[in-house]
Amino acid sequence: MTASVPIINISAYRFVSIDDCEALRESLQAECERLQLKGTVLIAPEGINVFLAGPREAIDAALSYLHADSRFADLNAKESLSDAPPFRYLKVKHKREIITMNRSAIQPQSGRAPAVSAATLKRWLDQGHDDAGRAVVTLDTRNAFEADLGHFEDCIDYRIDKFSEFPPAVEADAAALRDKTVVTYCTGGIRCEKAAIVMREAGIENVYQLDGGILKYFEEVGDAHWQGSCFVFDERRALDSALTPAPITHEVEQT
């Protein structure tokens, strides 16, 4: 009996100015169809957001195709495995934003906020402060239903229902955060890119984004200081710290 071919699932994003969104959408659609990949690719003037699944050879070919474009040459993909594609279809879409905040002045493609590695965050949380002696807090930029499945211990969670609610929530809390080092986190890092910029503009100086998000943290340091699983927007629903599907013990209501 022939063993099944493992499916490689990748997620990647890049904030970069794109002025040919529709032409890029058409070319990527054609290439992903040729490679018989499943998943979702979002393209907007501010960048690209990629979720694709398929056999190793096809995934590597898709990444090579993207890397050949100088705008995506440093696109770094996070990987996980599954027995079958966790997507039913291929969707390549042209959108206004690759992650909706509804604040056009926030443009990560003009320069990203400082990031902290998973290993450094773990060390800070282990010791209870950053390297300058400031108290460290983690701030969840995801929606409430995602945080309910898993989160960092003692994190700040504004219980938002959509990302566009994040800016007013953190701006209202700015005074309480100004003397702390704040590390924002989300699934793969994309929301933190915008969140960290909003926070700096609100006068919160010591802000970092968790580089690569929760999934990169799982990959590099496991579940240290983490409780639960991580929600993902595909048919697996949630991943544990080994990046394998995790059981969901209660109904998740996406808003």
* CA-based torsion, 146, 226, 87, 71: positive or negative: positive
Whether 67 and 10 have beta carbons less than 8 Å apart is answered as no
What residues does 188 pair with on adjacent strands? none
List the catalytic residues. Answer: 186
Classified as helix, coil or strand, 117 is: coil
The DSSP code for 19 is: S
Residues 6+ apart with CB under 8 A from 214: 150, 185, 186, 187, 188, 226, 230
Q: CA 15 to CA 5: how far, in whole Å?
A: 32
Q: CA 158 to CA 177: how far, in whole Å?
A: 13
